[in-house]
Amino acid sequence: MGKETVFANLIREHQGLLFKVTSIYTNNKEDQEDLFQEVVYQLWKYFDTFRNESKISTWMYRVAMNTAITQLKKSKRNSNSVPITEVILNRSETKNDVLEERLKLLYQQIQDLNPLEKGLMLLLLEDKSYKEMAQITGLSESNVGTRISRIKAKLKKNMAK
Amino acid sequence: MELKELQTAWSQLSQQLNKQEKLTNEIILKMTQDKYRNKFKTLNTYETVGAVVCYIISLFVIINFYKLDTWYLQLCGVITLGFLTIMPTLVLRSLKKIKNLDIIKGTYRETLITYTKEKNHLLKLQQIGIAFSFLLMFIVVPVTSKIISNKNIFHTQPEPIQWFAVVVALLFVTVITRWGYRSYKKITDNAAEVLKDLEA
């Protein structure tokens, strides 16, 4: 199997992960598409550097999250974007109004968090262990724990409003 | 709604996404091609066009510098040239640094710190640019007036309409400068807070 095929299979396998990371860091579908594409580009660019020292998904989270925070906001879309709108970024087929409503509320809560909290919240939602969160974020496990408690308190306060 | 419910909603989303495998290898490989990239392109375009305009005006001032025949006009010319060449160069350099951030080496925290610092640097430059543009308004007018119409405005008595134009321009620039400076200050202060928290 060629390198391209291995890479494409990897992305297909983890497209949900990429969708979720990009949805956390963007406010609209267009920006999400652009970010999704940029993350795939960065993963491809550094694909050869992956050394199996960590799980491939941990590496992918790290690249995706690092890419997301280093994107400057653009005011216009670039017409060169690959049209993936109706391919991955469409959840309409299995539309569930209750779920959509909850997700909307979830994204609203996340938007109020700062970039570090946003990253930790994503990993918390993904049910990652403190150890893996520490690996991805570069914080110590105890610091992750402290910050997660703070995020929970913040969310509780916001949701009570 | 409790955190538990948010986690359940997220987990349902994950299940939904797992069922939906729609990306094809062809689309994925298209995304890996550089020509489809769009990161920073728009922002860089605005900044590059702005810089090119500044460099063209600088060239125009350099070519016509001999027309500035008094020491104070020459001083105004030098300040104008300095502003028009140094500021855009610094902004472009700062943008390049952000664009070339190594996202693979650092952890999320490290990348966030480096990015916030670089972004803050860029914002500070733009903030300085706005503050200086106020001063530049008074310096560029005598230079362009001398070069284009061969008039030394330090020696001419302005017409009432010219006074009116100066007052309107002054008010306009004051409002824009104050607004711009305060907006940038708010953003850079927020970034400083984020940095403080990250480095704690």
Percentage of chain B exceeding pLDDT 90: 21
Residue B156 inside a domain? The answer is yes
Same domain, A133 and A118: yes
List pLDDT tens digits, range B179-191: 877 777 777 777 7
Q: Are B187 and B123 in contact (CB under 8 A)?
A: yes
List pLDDT tens digits, range B65-116: 999 999 999 999 999 999 999 999 998 998 888 878 888 888 888 888 888 8
Nearest to B21 among A12, A44, A137 (CB): A12
- A29: phi then psi, degrees, rounded to nearest 5: -60, -40
pLDDT in the model for residue B34: 63
Same domain, A68 and A133: no
Same domain, A132 and A67: no
Smallest CA–CA distance from B38 into chain A, residue: A78
Domain boundary among A43, A66, A90: A90
B200/B12 Cα distance (integer angstroms): 36
- A137 contacts chain B (CB < 8 A): yes
Residue B89 inside a domain? The answer is yes
Same domain, A10 and A84: yes
Smallest CA–CA distance from B111 into chain A, residue: A66
Residue B146 CB: number of other CB atoms within 10 A? 21
pLDDT in the model for residue B1: 63
Q: What is the mean pLDDT of each run of 10 residues along chain A (161 residues)?
A: 86 89 87 88 89 85 90 51 45 65 84 88 91 91 92 84 69
Residue B12 CB: number of other CB atoms within 10 A? 16
Most confident of B14-28, B35-49, B74-88, B145-159: B74-88
Q: Are B142 and B63 in contact (CB under 8 A)?
A: no
Distance of alpha carbon A57 from its chain centroid, rounded? 12
Same domain, A7 and A84: yes
- B115 contacts chain A (CB < 8 A): yes
List pLDDT tens digits, range B130-141: 778 878 888 988
Same domain, A54 and A6: yes
pLDDT in the model for residue B5: 81
- B34 contacts chain A (CB < 8 A): yes
Smallest CA–CA distance from A118 into chain B, residue: B108
Same domain, A81 and A152: no
Nearest to A138 among B17, B23, B109 (CB): B109
CATH number of the domain that residue A35 is part of: 1.10.1740.10
Query: Which ipTM did the prediction report?
Result: 0.77
Q: Which residues contact A106 (CB under 8 A, 6 or more apart)?
A: B6, B9, B10
Residue B18 inside a domain? The answer is no
B71/B58 Cα distance (integer angstroms): 19
CATH number of the domain that residue A122 is part of: 1.10.10
Average pLDDT, rounded, for chain B? 83
Same domain, A86 and A160: no
Contact yes or no for A119 and B28 at CB 8 A: no
B171/A84 Cα distance (integer angstroms): 48
Overall domain count for chain B: 1
Same domain, A9 and A42: yes
Res. B14: pLDDT tops 70: yes
pLDDT in the model for residue A130: 92
Q: How confident is the model at residue B159 (pLDDT cuts 50, 70, 90)?
A: confident
- B28 contacts chain A (CB < 8 A): yes
Residue B180 inside a domain? The answer is yes
- Domain carrying residue A126: 94-161
Same domain, A76 and A110: no
Q: How many inter-chain contacts (A to B, CB under 8 Å) are there?
A: 175
Residue B6 inside a domain? The answer is no
Overall domain count for chain A: 2
Q: Are B111 and A70 in contact (CB under 8 A)?
A: yes
Same domain, A86 and A122: no
pLDDT in the model for residue A60: 93
- Domain carrying residue B85: 38-199
- A48 contacts chain B (CB < 8 A): no
Residue B42 inside a domain? The answer is yes
Distance from the Cα of A69 to chain B's closest Cα (Å) equals 7
Same domain, A49 and A109: no
List pLDDT tens digits, range B24-42: 778 888 887 765 555 545 5
pLDDT in the model for residue A89: 47
CA pseudo-torsion sign B90, B189, A120, A53? positive
Residue B3 inside a domain? The answer is no
